[in-house]
Structure 1
């Protein structure tokens, strides 16, 4: 990630609250992942993790998972190659599918989420005189995909769908997996399922798309873990199926999380009933840490005083030393939303906070930028800045009002 001095410099230039994405860190991480996984493994970026990174990912990954018409529109604007798109999602609508097929010539592969979706894809492909590749999504016990009996019936009757090339299977069973044993069991089960379909119906899955859901650490010293040891362990689990299928790994959080930082300023300080409160200009509408239950866990952060000095943060040893010396006080960090739920972290150790100080929240490159409850209380959406040594700082989105979205009449202010 960028040096703290550079982050502070950019925060002063662009003001807070601000998302900052380090594109060099992003590229470096993807390259390291490729080296660990091997050249035969294809990476698919789940763009819902952070759609602002699509352009930067075009030369880095092999595919993009697109799960809505809006995401597809982003890919059109960013000139993503249609052959690199996996058109996914549970509610593909006819008008949108026909736009993809008629106006764009189709995409690389489509997912089949249900029998209804299968019938719709067949009808649209027939209408546009296309033969499309499709992956059948295998459910993990939720609303996504089809169960194995349905999968078997589809394969058994696949000749009823002449415009669809049933190219393989797709499966994603969740995120933030802590046990590699679970992943190993899933891979073994899915491989066995494909073997069974080949034996029964003479159908061989050519592509095996899988979302491993590898863990990204957000809290305490674990937040410094890049996850590459786990990735190496996972890569070894792929050995039994390498060469048997075209393997595509769908990832979002694991790719994007480490490239992002959210920068927020201290705007008020108070002590109510012996509890210290630090109000910042960001809030839960901007920051979403997976697993941050009741704001009890301390995320990776750096606290920067208004004079530029660093008093706490990633350096856990330094933080403990300050605490032992009695130099820190415990402050609950709250955002600017008018709700008691806007608590970022409770009892954060801080050295003499002042208005104008900055708090840098790390590992914010995935999801926070799109999962925040932006429209609540009609507060302005923060600026988004991307940085690379080559391009320097580029504003991807300026500060944006939300009150016009949240009102019956969008009046132009005079």
Structure 2
């Protein structure tokens, strides 16, 4: 979005709010497909991990081959939005019997499922036998933490396969070890190791794995000085896939890589002050609504747009118009640190610092800041209920249709009483 588009939104919408640009999402997915189709000879599909941004699930239903669902809440979002059942991969480290049965009774074999433990697998096996229907299950391989099962457990499950008609079909292996991987060597080593394990499974059990669902953890660039290397990273992933020459389909599961670049978080300057030779501005938002992976008390500089209050409908108070306040304001503007500001949020904690130091001329209450690259996790990972502040409105934007509010500002105090 360019500055004119943001200024128009600022003039017509209340802050704080999130804006997700669906044109950027579309361009990102198309870029991934273009590079994968060009660079790789393998059959590669794309899966959207909706935990990154559930508000994009309808858009991603049209753009990607699969949607990963990791909770009953996410499943109910998909039902409400009428997401194609055949595109759903029901995942998640905690799936109890009641949850699994609810989804199976609703969609049955139309969805795909992951089993992260012997207990989860037994629930699928039990349902198949009782309902005389098979379901397609992916066995999640652990990366050394609480997620998934170790190699021997997976071998045992596959070797325990019987000739019964109604049982889980082991359709593939699921693997994800973490996000924001800085080194392509890590991804190369993982894909190579997975290839060796899948080949070893077939050699020892005689069972052919049809698909690998793999989360590469491609990093998103959030801060100034970081290169946006998404295109280069996906080319390198395709090169590695070519090298290992898999005889199974690969689905790349991503959330942050698809969604981060489409998001804008708009907040408003509500107060400015000078204290012990530092300039502070207080915005009506904060760390409970803005989260960048790796950020620590505003140490790293995110990409920010400054929209002056002339672009925003803002009325000065009588105090701001007074001679006393104008004198204090002029004194503030004449200090040596006039251009350096610390941007702080509205929370009652010293940790609520969004930017430690940013140079801005003539900052005024009523100005807006727009934080970029907030399309993944930012709207859900913060302490949303702390101090019972409102939840910001959420909007979808594209050049054809303009802006559409999909969630109005919501009060949270009722949830804390």
**1-side partners of 2:411 and 2:385: how far apart?**
9
For 2:75 and 2:223, locate their aligned partners in 1 and report how far apart those are by CA, in whole Å.
33
Q: Displacement of 1:160 after TM fit? A: 8.7
How far 1:242 sits from its partner (Å)? 4.9
Give the aligned CA root-mean-square deviation in angstroms. Answer: 1.8
2:316 aligned residue: none
Question: Does 2:165 correspond to 1:166?
Answer: no
Deviations 1:58-110, CA, capped at 9 Å, x for gaps: 11000000000010001101111111000001111222222222223344311
Q: How does 1:126-137 map to 2 (within 5 A)?
A: 126-137=129-140
Give the corresponding residue for 2:126: 123
Contact 2:195-2:246 within 8 A present in 1 as well = no
Counterpart CA distance in 2 for 1:51 and 1:364 is: 13
CA–CA distance in 2 between the matches of 1:159 and 1:400? Answer: 52
Alpha carbons 2:109, 2:136 under 8 Å: kept:
no
Q: Which runs of 5+ in 2 are unaligned?
A: 313-335
Give 1:128 deviation, angstroms: 2.6
2:35 pairs with 1:36: yes
Cα offset, 1:241, TM superposition: 4.4
The CA deviation at 1:147 is 1.1
Task: Name the CA distance, whole Å, in 1 between partners of 2:286 and 2:2.
Answer: 23
Residue 58 of structure 1 corresponds to which residue in structure 2?
Answer: 61
Aligned to 1:177, the other structure's residue is in SS state coil
Correspondence for 1:346 among 325, 337, 356: 356
The offset of 1:250, in angstroms, is: 0.4
Matches of 1:193 and 1:357, distance apart in 2: 56
- For the Cα contact (< 8 Å) 2:142–2:149, is it kept in 1? yes
Cα distance in 2 for residues equivalent to 1:242 and 1:389:
41
Q: Which residue of 1 aligns with 2:271?
A: 268
Alpha-carbon distance between aligned partners in 2 of 1:327 and 1:376, rounded to the nearest angstrom: 32
> Where do 5+ consecutive residues of structure 1 fail to align?
310-325, 408-414
Tell me, yes or no, if structure 1 residue 25 matches structure 2 residue 35. Answer: no
Could you tell me how far 1:296 is from its partner in structure 2?
0.6
Deviation at 1:243, TM superposition (A): 5.4
Q: Give the alignment of 1:271-286 within 5 angstroms.
A: 271-286=274-289
The aligned counterpart of 2:328 is none
Separation of aligned partners in 2, 1:217 and 1:31: 19
1:226 CA displacement: 4.9
Equivalent position SS for 2:406 = strand
Aligned to 1:95: 98
Q: Counterpart in 2 of 1:330? A: 340
- 1:200 aligned partner: 204
Query: Partners of 1:23 and 1:153 in 2: how far apart?
Result: 44
Distance apart, 1:276 and its partner CA: 1.7
Distance 1:259 1:396 in 2: 16
SS for the counterpart of 1:261 is strand
Q: Distance in 1 between matches of 2:131 and 2:51?
A: 28
Displacement of 1:304: 2.2
How many pairs align? 389
Equivalent residue number for residue 315 of structure 1: none
Distance 2:338 2:183 in 1: 36
The equivalent of 1:215 in structure 2 is 219
The answer to whether 1:287 aligns with 2:284 is no
User: How many Å separate the matches in 2 of 1:107 and 1:92?
Assistant: 18
Distance in 2, matches of 1:328 and 1:289, equals: 27
Question: Which string of whole-angstrom CA distances, capped at 9 and with x for unpartnered residues, describes residues 362-389 of structure 1?
Answer: 0000001111211110000001011112
Encode CA deviations 1:314-336: one digit per residue, 9 max, x unaligned: xxxxxxxxxxxx99622111111
Could you list the per-position Cα deviations for residues 2-48 of structure 1 after superposition, in whole angstroms to 9, with x for gaps in the alignment? 11111121122111001001011111111111101128311100000
Give the match for residue 191 of structure 1. 195
| Higher Rg of the two aligned structures | 2
Q: Separation in 1 of the partners of 2:173 and 2:282?
A: 48
Q: CA deviation at 1:401?
A: 0.5
Tell me, yes or no, if the aligned pair for 2:393 and 2:410 is still in contact at 8 Å. Answer: yes
CA deviations on 1:256-303 (whole Å, 9 max, x unpaired) are: 000010011111011222222110111011100000023211111112
